[in-house]
Structure 1
Amino acid sequence: MKPLLRVLCFAFSYSLLLGPSTLTAEDWPAFRGPRGNGTSLETEVPLKWNQTENIVWKVRLPTSGNSSPIVSNGRVFVTCAEKEGRQRSLYCYDRRNGQQLWVRTVNFDKVLPTHKTNNYCGSTPVTDGERVVVWHSSAGLFCYDFAGKELWSRNLGEFEHIWGYGVSPLLHDGKVILHCGPGKRVFMTAVDLANGKTIWETEEPTEGDGQRNNERKYMGSWSTPVIADIKGQELIVCSMSLRVNAYAPQTGKIIWSCYGLRGKKGDLAYTSPVLANDICVAMGGYNGPAIGFRLQGTGDITDPERLWREEPNPQRISTGVFTNNHLFMANAGPNIFQCLNPSTGKIVWQERSGGAACWGSMVLANEHLYVTDQNGTTHVFKPNAARFEKVAQNQLKERSNSTPAFSDGQIFLRTFQHLYCIGN
């Protein structure tokens, strides 16, 4: 049975068992969910929880980390790293009870630099329901089946950056799509999911050693790409250090680029692009610029299609969600939530979060927005473009830099200490 059909059959049979209220149940197979945009079809997920209320199970994790869990076919996958990155592992758990089913560890004989806030497991795995792919950066790209058998592996090169790595792979049309970097060599690549062979690679120019530009300011991108369907044309869209690129999925050819991410403090991008109907919004890091442009054209589309550019901005690591014709953001300094007009870049409203900085990305589920801050508090509010409408602040009192996964009425959340399953 083909993987996609198998996933659909599983979801359908599971929903029949649980009744009509969960007919929208779906897996969460990748960073930011099945559509890569932080939206979930779940309608029965909890709005409130704490350390004891609505906790289905929790399991201790061996180390802290910034990657996020994914959920597929009754399995939960998450990465961990130990011994200063010399051991990088993929863990598999039973979603029913949190039992560890297997762990696969890759040994790496170097200690490469990273930021003290970014452990060596910043990349979230991805799955098609039968195979799970994990990128351990310089330690390689690996594919396993759901029993933990290694199907193939690839060494894509060494990626050295003083702040480490954090890009996650995605799957599209039988290909593993991966933004490889940051470091001296940066490229977008497509790898055959069936056998691990490279289909194409497209280099991205860098300056200096890839860590500082020619002005000795920091540079690098940790942006996970997204798939855009623009009037029937599928494109891979990703924020690089200086520009946003759109790649043809079959060939890797750059169809268009929009510049504007070079900032006064450096050339940095942490967030994924956000697609807002026919507009793309991209955010620079380290208080850098944000840009909005029309998703059309070929070549350098900066002058004809860029609608706005705003600088400076709050520190933005968390990727926002577009809904109700507005972009909702959670920031990392100052700790504020914002509602933006994607057509103009103007702030519609902003409010202090009442919590810590947000590194984990936002999710829309059950007509509510969820985002977890660095203290492990998940803020829940309504996507109201008129005003900030807080619903809950759910405290686990454990640090977290991760994005929650939503599946079959449950929320799976990684903290520095545990993996949680939260459900009504």
Structure 2
Amino acid sequence: MKFTLWLILALGPLAALHAENWPMWRGANGDGTSAESKLPEKWSQTENVVWKVELPERGNSTPVVWGDKVLVTQAIEKEGKRLLLCFDKKTGKQLWEAGTIYREPELTHATNPYCAASPATDGERVIVYFASAGVFCYDMNGKEVWKRTDLGKQHHIWGNGTSPVLAGDRVFLNFGPGENTVLYCFDKKTGKTIWQHKEPGGASGEGADKKWLGSWSDPLLRKTGARYELLMSYPRRACAFDPLTGKELWTSGGLTDLVYNSPLFADGVMIAMSGYGGAALAVKTGGDGDVTEKNRVWQLPKVSQRIGSGVVHDGYHYILSDGGIAECRDLKTGAMVFQERLKGNNWSSLVLSADGKCYAANQIGDCFVFKASPKFELLATNALGEKIIGSIAVSDGQLFIRGYKHLWCIGNK
């Protein structure tokens, strides 16, 4: 049985053979990279808009795409609805909705509406995380397959936002932040728990002392050396787990109390960054036990505030800070290569095309395209005229962007 599961996981990131799909928040590879090139560079509210459809309320999640379907999570706050919406990829017509109703009080921030987590799909089922309401699985027609409503409540002053990660026959989920912080591995067909790792939580930010900690990071599955590791960033540490058993393989100190973005991996090295002016680090994977002293490549005690995650290209790490500054760092040393101010504030994560272009959106609806190069070159600024928190999804040469008012499909015409 173990050997069979190992072979399934050894197939690598989900949908690696289906570059036309964008099955999870950060794409098929889990790191914001797309196998597509010659994507649209310029658009407006009318130019290169294939379709746009009005959404019922605001939302921070990113759409996912599989085949002829676009899927996005949506809350109807006053009604307590936690929904998954499905749209026709060619026309934008809504095909169906599925979901649940959850009316119990759930702590979040005014900037983070419910249903902030993005869906994940393998083309047969769609997994959605509705925070305290539970984890739900639907088929591609919106029929409920299984649900887990027994996981407990989420409780943090800034709410939640982690998304399911699919690999082989498994669903990995960082259920947190707050006191109830657990890394789960579910069977994607049944929803049964295969293993779980309980992480110390707490400090939700409600007290007078304003103490808080938490991780909004999604795990990243990578092969390093002869084994697979599930890479994770938590308050004050980066670490890795055996994806088959949940055993912790190694840990490295060097992060700080709040971790908003997800880890990246390149050339045997994991890159992890804290938010809220916290620390960042790079650490060699493949170790055992506490590897802080022997495997940590570099550590920066303070970096700029960032919510979104970055991308890696040809030895450089690219990310947008919360303040809308594009940053490039040398992966070997952590040294800053450039800092270039763009318009507005940004929570969107970067997407990298196969021909080396970075895509992201800011909170006032401007979408940026710039080269993934140590010499900064802004290629375009494209205004959609509405608030955007989520990231851009890529499928079949088109871009799918969720704003606070509309779901947009952008394509070269």
Q: Which residue of 2 aligns with 1:162?
A: 157
Listed as ranges, the matches of 1:171-182 within 5 Å are 171-182=166-177
The letter of the residue matching 1:350 is Q
Q: Which residue of 1 aligns with 2:304?
A: 314
Q: Which residue of 2 aligns with 1:40?
A: 34
SS at match of 2:213: strand
Q: Displacement of 1:341 after TM fit?
A: 1.0
Conserved? CA contact 2:177–2:201, under 8 Å = no
2: CA distance, partners of 1:214 / 1:230: 44
Identity of aligned residues (%): 42
1: CA distance, partners of 2:385 / 2:314: 32
Listed as ranges, the matches of 1:138-157 within 5 Å are 138-155=132-149, 156-157=151-152
The gaps in structure 1 that reach 5 residues or longer are 12-24
Q: Displacement of 1:83 after TM fit?
A: 2.2
2: CA distance, partners of 1:291 / 1:405: 27
Correspondent of 2:286 among 292, 296, 299: 296
Q: Which residue of 1 aligns with 2:48?
A: 54
Conserved? CA contact 1:363–1:370, under 8 Å = yes
Q: Which residue of 2 aligns with 1:368?
A: 357
Query: Alpha carbons of 1:8 and 1:325: their partners in 2 closer, same or farther (altered >3 Å)?
Result: closer
2: CA distance, partners of 1:54 / 1:418: 15
Listed as ranges, the matches of 1:166-245 within 5 Å are 166-207=161-202, 209-211=203-205, 217-245=211-239
1: CA distance, partners of 2:93 / 2:196: 39
Q: Which residue of 2 aligns with 1:388?
A: 376
TM-score, length of structure 1 as denominator length? 0.90
Q: Which residue of 2 aligns with 1:65?
A: 59
1: CA distance, partners of 2:220 / 2:64: 17
Q: Which residue of 2 aligns with 1:323?
A: 313
Q: Which residue of 1 aligns with 2:104?
A: 110
Q: Which residue of 2 aligns with 1:21?
A: none
**Bigger shift: residues 94-103 or 271-280:** 271-280
Q: Displacement of 1:85 after TM fit?
A: 7.6
SS at match of 2:294: helix
2: CA distance, partners of 1:216 / 1:308: 30
Correspondent of 1:268 among 250, 258, 270: 258
1: CA distance, partners of 2:133 / 2:383: 35
Q: Displacement of 1:278 after TM fit?
A: 1.6
SS at match of 1:275: strand
The letter of the residue matching 1:26 is E
Conserved? CA contact 1:84–1:120, under 8 Å = no
The letter of the residue matching 1:231 is G
Q: Displacement of 1:421 after TM fit?
A: 0.5
- Misfit runs of 4+, over 2 Å: 7-11, 209-217
Conserved? CA contact 2:318–2:326, under 8 Å = yes
Conserved? CA contact 2:60–2:388, under 8 Å = yes
2: CA distance, partners of 1:379 / 1:69: 18
Listed as ranges, the matches of 1:2-41 within 5 Å are 25-41=19-35
The letter of the residue matching 2:106 is L
Conserved? CA contact 1:279–1:343, under 8 Å = no
TM-score, length of structure 2 as denominator length? 0.93
The gaps in structure 2 that reach 5 residues or longer are 1-7
Q: Displacement of 1:217 after TM fit?
A: 2.3
Q: Which residue of 2 aligns with 1:332?
A: 322
SS at match of 2:293: helix
SS at match of 1:249: coil
Query: Alpha carbons of 1:310 and 1:187: their partners in 2 closer, same or farther (altered >3 Å)?
Result: same
Q: Spell out, residue by residue over 1:68-100, the C-alpha distance to the aligned partner (whole angstroms, 9 max, x if none).
A: 000002100001112258211000001010010
Query: Alpha carbons of 1:199 and 1:58: their partners in 2 closer, same or farther (altered >3 Å)?
Result: same
Is 1:420 the counterpart of 2:405? The answer is no
Q: Spell out, residue by residue over 1:238-295, the C-alpha distance to the aligned partner (whole angstroms, 9 max, x if none).
A: 1111211211111111111111112xxxx10000011121221111110111111111
2: CA distance, partners of 1:197 / 1:393: 45
Is 1:345 the counterpart of 2:334? The answer is yes
2: CA distance, partners of 1:358 / 1:228: 28
Q: Displacement of 1:104 after TM fit?
A: 0.9
Conserved? CA contact 2:225–2:286, under 8 Å = no
Q: Spell out, residue by residue over 1:300-334, the C-alpha distance to the aligned partner (whole angstroms, 9 max, x if none).
A: 1111111222132211111111001100111102x
